[in-house]
Amino acid sequence: MTPDPLWAENIIAGYLGRLLHALSARGDWDRAIRVLDAAAELAPYLGARLQADEARLLRRAVITFVHEVLRDHGSDSSGPGSSPGSEMFRLAAADRAVLVYTRFWLGLIRPFEHVDSARLPSSFDEAVATVQCPYKADAPRQMLEMFERIAYGIKFEQETECQRVTPGWWVHHIAARTLSQVLITSIQDFSAQVKTELIDPLVADTSTDATLVTIQVLGCLELVHKLTFHLQTAEQAVTALNALRHAPTKDERWPETPLPAGAGIRRISSFGDPSLVTVFGF
């Protein structure tokens, strides 16, 4: 038995899927689209907080529902997706399926656009100044747990030694290492998810309506362009965090794994249409 830190998010994601299916089953297309738009609006907020696990639950609920909607295309007139407006809903759903990924990526990279290694130490110090400060730092879950441990450790030192013993450089080193690990892991996992959840299904699917596929392909092209462009920002952020590494520690836990390389080009040659469509892959 182990505690599930995402128990609330898992429940919410389950309810989101049930809500979308209920709206779709009764043909309430406008409201279903508003729900998908609300999910897309939440994605950049989760990205900016580096809440990658929480965001993946959200995206999974959306993409699972959208894939089911798209598979229903071509069903007979008595099927659940045959009411007026269902075709327009499928087009909108195909667009939202990629949009929730794009908006998460833009949110994820935004906090690192102006990372300054000279200002980071002061923000780390503020986050552990008291036992209440970690909750004001608006940090991702992994960093919040780390800030909590350090803050309570410093409080214990002050109560027992009447002074702080933990050196500032150690706080900066541990915080920068944790943030670098979270950033690199989030980007690596997200890149893999884009490939397996968006690109690969498009490559494998030869039966979906060409219009629906075109919408998704265009969305994937835009997403991968943004991924490639903003990887430079992520690399600059990792460099800034590396500047806070305390070399004498020879810390073997410091993340050395590189960020994903720029996207390559691959060809998708069959979408039920003989023409070649060039898209970016990984």
Same domain, 2 and 77: yes
Percent of the chain with pLDDT over 70: 87
pTM of the model: 0.83
The mean pLDDT of 201-221, rounded to a whole number, is 82
The mean pLDDT of 21-48, rounded to a whole number, is 92
Same domain, 67 and 11: yes
Same domain, 251 and 126: yes
pLDDT of residue 61: 93
pLDDT of residue 80: 45
Which 3 state secondary structure label does DSSP give 272? Answer: coil
pLDDT digits (tens, 9 = 90+) for 233-278: 999 999 999 999 999 999 999 998 888 865 433 333 333 343 334 4
Which 3 state secondary structure label does DSSP give 84? Answer: coil
pLDDT of residue 35: 94
pLDDT digits (tens, 9 = 90+) for 78-133: 444 456 678 888 889 889 989 999 999 999 999 898 888 888 999 999 999 999 99
How does residue 209 score in pLDDT terms, banded at 50, 70 and 90?
confident
- Name 7's Cβ contacts closer than 8 Å, sequence gap at least 6: none
Specify the long-range contacts of residues 269-276, CB closer than 8 Å, at least 24 apart: 270/206, 271/202, 271/205, 271/206, 271/208, 271/210, 271/213, 271/217, 272/206, 272/207, 272/208, 272/209, 272/210, 272/213, 273/210
pLDDT digits (tens, 9 = 90+) for 54-84: 999 999 999 999 888 887 754 444 444 456 6
Domain assignment present for 45: yes
* Residue 119, φ and ψ in degrees, nearest 5: -95, -20
Domain assignment present for 192: no
Which 3 state secondary structure label does DSSP give 279? Answer: strand
pLDDT of residue 84: 60
Please say which residue of 91, 112, 133 terminates a domain: 112
* Residue 264, φ and ψ in degrees, nearest 5: -90, -175
- pLDDT score of 41 more than 70: yes
Same domain, 136 and 262: yes
Distance between CA atoms of 189 and 184, rounded to whole angstroms?
A: 9
What average pLDDT does the structure give for the chain?
Answer: 85
| Domain extent for 162 | 115-185+205-216+224-282
pLDDT of residue 76: 42
- pLDDT score of 200 more than 90: no
Distance between CA atoms of 28 and 18, rounded to whole angstroms?
A: 14
pLDDT of residue 262: 54
Domains identified in the chain, total number: 2
Domain assignment present for 196: no
- pLDDT score of 281 more than 60: no
Same domain, 278 and 265: yes
Domain assignment present for 146: yes
